[in-house]
Every structure is written in C-alpha cells, then in structure tokens.
Structure 1
Amino acid sequence: MDQSIIFDLNLINRYDKAGPRYTSYPTALELHEGFTDTDYRWHIAKSNRAGGPLSLYFHLPFCDTVCFYCACNKIVTKNRGHAVPYLDNLCKEIAMQGALFDKSRVVDQLHWGGGTPTFLSDDQMQRLMAVTRAHFSLRDDDRGEYSIEIDPRETHEGTIEQLRGLGFNRISLGVQDFDPKVQRAVNRLQSEEQTFSVMEAARRHGFRSTNIDLIYGLPLQTVETFSKTLDRILAARPDRLSVFNYAHLPTRFKTQRQIHEADLPAPDVKLAILQMVGLRLTEAGYAYIGMDHFARPDDELAIAQREGKLYRNFQGYSTHSDCDLVGFGITSIGRVGDAYIQNVKDLETYDKLIRHHKLPVFKGVDLDQDDKLRRAVITQLICHFELSFAVIEKKFAIDFADYFAREIEVLKPMQADGLLALSAEGIAVSPAGRLLIRNICMVFDRYLAQKNRQQFSKVI
C-alpha cells in the first residue's frame, strides 16, 4: 500500500474548512441526556452476549500547570491531595462497571489519559492498576496494548520502571515544540534532556512503542524553528509521531485566551510548516497513517493499515476494532455495542453519583442502522483511504449507488479536483487527497448540515 502524501497548496487552500475529526460517527455532539445508566446497562448485557475483548480508558484530569494551547478536559492544581478523593471514586466506579462486564472478556487495550496521568504518586498508580486487575481480566503475557500519556517534566527513571512493572508497554510523550520562545508563549517549559531521558528509559525498560506529540501553528513558530525541533525528534527515532494542528478557539477554551493572537503564525506560514513536516517525515521513512499521525513502517499502526485492519476510536487510530471501549472517570467516552456513552463532566456530580452507587452516565446515543452504515463508510475511508462498495453492500444489504446517490454527486467535484478516484467499484483517495480526508468523510455525515462549523477545528 502507498502510504505517502502529496502537498497540494491550491487544494488545501480551497478545502481548508472546519469539520469533525471523526474519532466517532456520529460525533460526540450527537450524545444526549436522554440516554441513562439504564440504557447503558442494557447495552452492556447485550455486549456480554456477543462477547469479545475489551478496551479500557481512564481519564485522569489533573495537571500541575496549564499549557495555554490545551483543549483537553483538565483540572489545573498544585495540590496533589485533590487526586485522593477522585481516585477513591474512580476505584468505586471500576468495581461497579466491572460487576457488569463478563469476567471472561480479556482486556486487549488499556489507556491512561488526561490531564497528566503521572500527576498520581507511585502508590496511587499501583492502587489504580491493582483495582482494575481485581475487576477486569487484564493480560499477563504483555500481548495487550497498554499505553499511557506522559509529561516528561513529571517523570523520572523510577516512574518509567514502575509503569513497565504495572504492565504498560506503550508510552506517549507530549513535546509540542523545543523552541524556548514558543515554550514561554504557551507556558510549557520542557527541556530536550527531560524529554529524551524519558524516551531512553522507556526503551531500556522494554516499552514496545514510543510516540511523540508535536503541535504546529503555535505562537512564534516559524518553518526554521520548527524544523530544528524536528531535527532533534528525528534523531531520537520515535516509533510514532502525532503532529497536530493548533486550533485557536478561545471562545470555547478559556486557557487559549492567554495566547496573543498577534503571535500566531500567518496561514501561509502554518501551511509551510505542515508541508515541511510532511516532507521531512516521509523522507525519514515514516508512513502517513492519516489525521496528523505518522509511524515507522514496522510499527503496528502502519502494518494494520497495509493489512486493512486499522480502526479509529475516541483515542485515535487503533489496531483493536473488535474491542468494546469502556470509559472511566469524568468526561470519559466509551463505545459499548451500538451505543456511545459519556460520563459526567465535573467532580461534584461525579462524587455524588458514585456515593449513591450510580453509574456516572451523563449522556449517550443509540446508533441506528443508518448511523452504523455511515460509520462503516467513514471509518474505512479515514483509516485506509479507499472504499469497496461491494463490501458495504454485502454487510448492510443496500445498493450503494442508490442509497448514497446524493453523496456520489457531491464527490464528483472532488474527483475533478484530484482528491479521489470514483468508480462503479468504489472510492480511492489520492495522495493529494489524504491530507483532506476529513472533507471527504464529511460528505457522508448526515448530521453535519445541522451543526455550527465553529464547533470544529479546520482540517489543516
């Protein structure tokens, strides 16, 4: 499979509009408060009858300092004591949910995200994993994909050794940019020494995969300065890189109001940075997975994409399409059977529900047949850049050309522009269209016309 991209500035300028990132379809905006814990329990029971492995996500929202660019669900505090009652409640939620899922279902995937998971002390991390293991069937053979997001500023050799002992085998490090001026502008001061010492420790202790997060479009960035950051990152040879587009949405995210808009790179500079990144990474041998993600050709993501087994969920690209995703903690989102479920968003409500032995369900959505059909189409396109009509027709008992007649007409101008090739057999996205895959997926989104595009980031 060709896993390359072509940077066509003319196409990007024409198609660079706001739209969903499709970590799910329907998107999280379709979740509603009419979905209750009773509905969730029903879907769990149905899921147990079907069986299959599980994926667990734990949201640990605390951060010691605020990064001005951040759009995550977080609680910024210097007081480590705030984690104590939250962890108590999280352990109770694990017990409640664990009692509902069949213990024969093995956990193939596990992820701690945030926030900053390493905000927890060593003892707290040990407790969280022990409670999880007591109520779910975690693997002991290291064949699962157990990952954690790391802030190198809060991590040392002992932390890495303990995390490996707890069963983690994948690690993701937030970097964003090494330039000191950029770091000061976004309030994230982090040295190269801090970063690479953590990477080296992870490799020494047998972590199977390392991911680096970078962001382009931050204040004071230039092609030259970001290229220097990329030089240092490429020298360390991480297995994966996530190079995110900074979406400046200060009306939605209060911390972004501390960024001086005059310092943000002009649109042409931002595009030049993206072009440089794509060129440098592909020249270094990385495969373009899609949606800001690059991986070495021997990485599991790249292999899964070539073999047609890649999937996309609320954590991004995944190799575990067969897993139901169970979310724990405030704001976490899961997917169980044919439903998406999100927990309550604030500590007070979470505490109240847990104390009353209730699942902290805030909202959710049941997928109908059309949702599942369109999800299959969007997932195939966003993961593999191609779609076989026959496969969809067989799975959903439809005639593709008839069911999606309007969508096919909308795709024809995209074909004329060189984003894709449309035939009677299916859709093949061109290397020039892969950076704009969100635009192609939006054609199949029946909810999008009802939404305010300002709720989404731009595709580039």
Structure 2
Amino acid sequence: MPANIPTAPNDAPTSAAWADELIHRYAQSGPRYTSYPTALSFSEGFTAGDFTAALARSNAGQRALSLYVHIPFCRKICFYCACNKIATKNTALAEPYLERIDQEMALTSRHLDHQRPVQQLHWGGGTPTFLTLDQMSHLIDRLDTRFGLSSDPDRDYAIEIDPREADVLTLRHLQSLGFNRLSLGVQDLDPQVQQAINRHQPRVLTETLMDEAQRLRFRSLNLDLIYGLPLQTADSFAKTLGQIIELNPARLSVFNYAHLPQRFPPQRRINRDDMPSADEKLAMLRITIEMLTAAGYVHIGMDHFARPDDSLAVAQRNGTLQRNFQGYSSHAQCDLIGLGVSAISRIDDSYAQNSSVLDHYAAAIDEGRLATQRGLRLNRDDLIRRDAIERLMCDMRLDLAALGERWQIDAPAYFRPALASLDQAQQDGLIVLQDNQLQVTPMGRLLIRHLAMAFDTHLPNQDKPNYSNIV
C-alpha cells in the first residue's frame, strides 16, 4: 500500500470473534434503510401536488441538489437482476424516453431555486451505457439547462457501467461530460457462474476499462460483486476476490444475492439446486471480509468497502456519511431528485416515487403532469428516527446526547423501548452501550440492519418477506 494512504482501522471480526451460530440467529429479513421510513410505507395518497409543495419548501433550506436519472434499458437480461429494466437492443427506443425525462425536468425545476448547486449526479439502471454517446451528450445538456450542473472539483458525478457495453472511447466521452466516478458491474469472474446467470464478461473487459479510468484520472471507481449466486463456492469466490484485489478498485460493493423469484421473474431462470447453502454463503461473507480488510480496505458497513483515502471512508471518519437510494454517499444533506420511471426523490421532509410502469410514467408526462405515484411526508417522529437510523448505519455509533440536543428531546427516554429491544444484541457483543453512546462492534457491522430495525416503528405493520435477508 502506498505510504501516503492511511492505515485501515481494525473494523472486521477476527477469526476468534467470528460466530457462525450468532450470525445465523440474526440472519432474518429486514430493510436496507436507504430511506426511513422505507418504500413499503409510501402511500398512493401522496400526490404530485404534495411533491411540488415539498420542492417549494426545500428552497428555504438552500441545500445542494443530488440528481438521480434512471435509464431502464439494457440489451440482455441477467438472471439475478432485481432492477426495474427493459430488455431491448434498439437504442432508438431511448429517444422518446429521454424526451419525457426532459419534460419531467422542466416540470420539476420550475419549483426550484436555480441558485442551488448540483453537487451530486448519478445515472443508474438498467444500463446507462445502453445510450449512444450522442444521447448521453444530449441528456447532460438538458440536465445542465434545467438545473445547472457543476464544475466544482468536489462534485460527485457517477454513472453505472456494464463493461460489456462500454469501451475506452465511452470512458473518454463520459469524462468530457463531467463524470468523475464510475461503478462497474462485475458480480463474479468465474465463467461457470457467469453462464449460470446469463452474463458472459471476461476479466479483460473490466481490466481494460479500469486501466483507462486510472489513466483518465477518474476520482473513484467502484466494482459490484454478488455472493450467493448459482454454482458459487467459497473457494471460487475467493479466487474472484483475489483477482479483484489485484485490480485495486477504490470501492467495492459485495452484495448478498436475494433470490425472490416471485417478485423478479428473471430469477425463475436460475436453478435452485445450483444455489449455495446458507453455510456456504456465510463462508463467502467471511472470506470477503478477511481478504478485503487484509488488503487494506475499510469495512464501511453491510456490504460496502473502500480504500482508507476514498471519499466514503473519509466521510465516515468525519461523521458526514449519508444513506440514500443509491446506498452510502459522501455528500451529506443534499436534496435528492429522482428522474425517470420508478425513480424516488427525497426532498425536504418528503419522499416521492414515480410510477414503476413505463406506460404509466409516459402517460403522466405526456399529459403535462409529474409521474408521482406514491410517497410520504414524514412527521416529527419519523424525522427523529430517520436521523437516529442514518447515524447508526453511517457512523456505526449513535451519540444519544447529540441526537437529543439536535431534536430537543431526552433521547435515552425517547428511545427507551428501542434500547431495551437491543439488550440481547448487547449481550451477544454486537453493540456496547455506555454513557449515552451506542457503539457498534466489528461483528455488529455485519448485522447493522438488525440493529437499525430496533428504531423502526413502521416495521411491525409490514410484510418482512418483502425484504432480503440481512446476511
């Protein structure tokens, strides 16, 4: 590791501390808390009018903006995929969609103070690199016209890339458009696993793009991996991890595959007999943490890892890390505007989600109205609990005294039921509660979703099978 990179803290369970029985006991389903309350609490009683009112209220806070653009198209379906996507090879189908995105921008931006900087931009999908280079340029121009994009070197402008759909020319074009961070989907480098999930992607495709990204001085590069896929074993996944460590990405997201074929039809193409057992998946998780921390990565929390000098790790050390619908973010306190089918916005004290059905989204925009299908305006209790859950999941600690000061409450008394429900977690060594400080232990980082659930008052009324397993 270069001498100027700070050493990673001891933030992973040691072999002696690792307890398979304990993890199995806590391995229930639960939210990822990219929002609180979660999307299952959104109501169709929340309308486009409620969303525009939230946009107007948000101007008073003068928070910077974060823009998310959902591009639902991809050329080929991966069997594990749980995203909102449309499989097609016809890039012309993107044209009317992009026109509607522009109309949505116009409908949204008219309610915003145009002096608010766009500090964060994220294109997700689907496969954003499904778009042609000209279409990408056109979309950036429209975003700049409607919102005013930033040239600040501290901006965080990211795009998800399918290495099978991009080349070095694509990266050069993205850099010219202002993107400074890339996220590459890899999932697994084992050819047999790739065949089982319908995603043929030789290592050379990923390696070539990473080399070019480094040459072009992109600020940060993330790789996505998934454990628990068909035909994976602990040994085979360790080989993939070894190759990934050689490639030295700044960030890694190592997701637990959630097999929910009843909700995501492409997953029905996966042979359940090829799926690894719960014990094998746990072995993969253990190997992942051991190998990545040994290689110098900081375990940010759950399934995210970063080099100590990456902005995610720096933000966590500074207490400014945030959760949003794209996961962990180094840009705290931005108002998030989601554009496109199924996109979710977090504005002021409200969440708003567009229709997840393309035809319904298109019909709304064509009628000159926002495509808001559902959402939620948070009450004071929701806001307090959102703050608590976010700080717990981002800082891996919760300062009850500071929380109480921010909200003018007696936080230990306010959260007495939640803290009482964590007694067993404290006995099991997942947390330490002392002097109004709740500190998550290394083992607790793996189960942070369970710890956060203690503060969630909406969860008892929800159907837990709608959530993936915690580990």
TM-fit CA distance, 1:141 = 3.3
Question: Can you list the C-alpha shifts for 1:332-376, whole angstroms capped at 9, x where unaligned?
Answer: 001000000101112211221111211111111000000001111
Pairing partner for 1:423 from 431, 434, 443: 434
1:92-131 pair list within 5 angstroms: 92-131=103-142
Runs of 4+ in 1 over 4 A off after TM superposition: none
Pairing partner for 1:371 from 357, 373, 382: 382
CA distance in 2, matches of 1:2, 1:235: 21
Counterpart position of 1:256: 267
Indicate how the Cα distance of structure 1 residues 371 and 3 shifts in structure 2: closer, same or farther if over 3 A, else same: farther
Q: Amino acid of the residue matched to residue 12 of structure 2?
A: I
CA distance in 1, matches of 2:420, 2:380: 23
Aligned 8 A contact 2:412 2:436 in 1: no
Matched, 1:216 2:227: yes
Counterpart position of 1:285: 296
CA distance in 1, matches of 2:306, 2:357: 35
TM-fit CA distance, 1:36 = 0.8
1:23-422 pair list within 5 angstroms: 23-422=34-433
Question: Can you list the C-alpha shifts for 1:393-438, whole angstroms capped at 9, x where unaligned?
Answer: 1111211222122112111111111111112422111111110011
CA distance in 2, matches of 1:198, 1:92: 33
CA distance in 1, matches of 2:201, 2:223: 14
Counterpart position of 1:5: 12
Aligned 8 A contact 2:29 2:467 in 1: yes
Aligned 8 A contact 1:3 1:289 in 2: no
CA distance in 1, matches of 2:316, 2:430: 20
Cα RMSD of the aligned pairs, angstroms, is 1.1
TM-fit CA distance, 1:2 = 4.1
TM-fit CA distance, 1:3 = 5.4
CA distance in 2, matches of 1:31, 1:224: 42
Q: Which moved more, 1:219-228 or 1:1-10?
A: 1-10
Indicate how the Cα distance of structure 1 residues 4 and 345 shifts in structure 2: closer, same or farther if over 3 A, else same: same
TM-score by length of 2: 0.96
SS in 2 for 1:227: helix
Question: Can you list the C-alpha shifts for 1:286-341, whole angstroms capped at 9, x where unaligned?
Answer: 00001200000000100111111111111110111221000100000010000001
SS in 2 for 1:138: coil
CA distance in 2, matches of 1:142, 1:407: 41
Indicate how the Cα distance of structure 1 residues 141 and 395 shifts in structure 2: closer, same or farther if over 3 A, else same: closer
CA distance in 1, matches of 2:236, 2:289: 16
CA distance in 2, matches of 1:351, 1:247: 30
Q: Which moved more, 1:347-356 or 1:17-26?
A: 347-356
Question: Can you list the C-alpha shifts for 1:170-211, whole angstroms capped at 9, x where unaligned?
Answer: 000000001111000000000111111111111122211010
CA distance in 1, matches of 2:250, 2:406: 35
Aligned 8 A contact 2:450 2:470 in 1: yes
Aligned 8 A contact 1:94 1:135 in 2: yes
TM-score by length of 1: 0.98
CA distance in 1, matches of 2:10, 2:184: 24
CA distance in 2, matches of 1:13, 1:348: 42
CA distance in 2, matches of 1:142, 1:383: 24
CA distance in 2, matches of 1:242, 1:218: 15
TM-fit CA distance, 1:79 = 2.0
Gaps of 5+ in 2: 1-7
CA distance in 2, matches of 1:308, 1:404: 21
Q: Amino acid of the residue matched to residue 198 of structure 1?
A: L
Indicate how the Cα distance of structure 1 residues 282 and 118 shifts in structure 2: closer, same or farther if over 3 A, else same: same
Gaps of 5+ in 1: none
Q: Amino acid of the residue matched to residue 425 of structure 2?
A: M
In the alignment of these two chains, the number of paired residues is 460
Q: Amino acid of the residue matched to residue 69 of structure 1?
A: Y
Q: Which moved more, 1:396-405 or 1:148-157?
A: 396-405
Q: Which moved more, 1:322-331 or 1:387-396?
A: 387-396
Indicate how the Cα distance of structure 1 residues 19 and 179 shifts in structure 2: closer, same or farther if over 3 A, else same: same
CA distance in 1, matches of 2:421, 2:374: 33
CA distance in 2, matches of 1:275, 1:84: 45
Aligned 8 A contact 2:52 2:108 in 1: no
Q: Indicate the percent of aligned positions where both proteins have the same amino acid.
A: 49
CA distance in 2, matches of 1:115, 1:191: 20
TM-fit CA distance, 1:10 = 2.3
Question: Can you list the C-alpha shifts for 1:145-191, whole angstroms capped at 9, x where unaligned?
Answer: 00000000000111110000000000000000011110000000001
